[in-house]
Amino acid sequence: MARRFSELTFTDSVRDAQRRYGSREQNLGFETSDDHRDRITVREAQFIAERDSFYLASHGTEADGRPGWPYVQHRGGPKGFLRVIDEKTLGFADFRGNVQYLSAGNIVADPRVSLFLMDYAKRRRLKIWARARIVEAADDPALIASIGTPGYPAQIERAVIFDVEAVDWNCPQHITPRFTAEQVQPLLDEIEQLKAKLAAFEGQPVVQH
Ligand X SMILES: Cc1cc2nc3c(=O)[nH]c(=O)nc-3n(C[C@H](O)[C@H](O)[C@H](O)COP(=O)(O)O)c2cc1C
Nearest approach, Cβ of 106 to ligand X (angstroms)? 8
Q: Which residue number has the CB closest to ligand X? A: 97
Nearest approach, Cβ of 116 to ligand X (angstroms)? 15
- Out of 18, 27, 73, 149, name the contact with ligand X by CB under 6 A: 73
Distance CA 37, CA 34 (A): 9
Strand ranges for the chain from DSSP E:
53-61, 67-76, 83-86, 89-95, 112-119, 124-136, 156-170
Number of residues in contact with ligand X under rule CB under 6 A? 8
Distance CA 94, CA 137 (A): 10
Nearest CB to ligand X, comparing residues 103 and 114: 103
In 3-state terms, what secondary structure has residue 107? helix
**Residue among 90, 75, 111 at smallest CA distance from 44:** 90
- Out of 85, 102, 108, 109, name the contact with ligand X by CB under 6 A: 102
Beta bridge partners of 55: 74, 116
The answer to whether 61 contacts ligand X (rule: CB under 6 A) is no
The answer to whether 98 contacts ligand X (rule: CB under 6 A) is yes
The answer to whether 108 contacts ligand X (rule: CB under 6 A) is no
Q: Find the part of the chain contacting ligand X (CB under 6 A) among 15-23, 32-40, 93-101, 140-148.
A: 93-101
Distance CA 116, CA 61 (A): 21
Chain residues binding ligand X by CB under 6 A are: 73, 97-98, 100-104
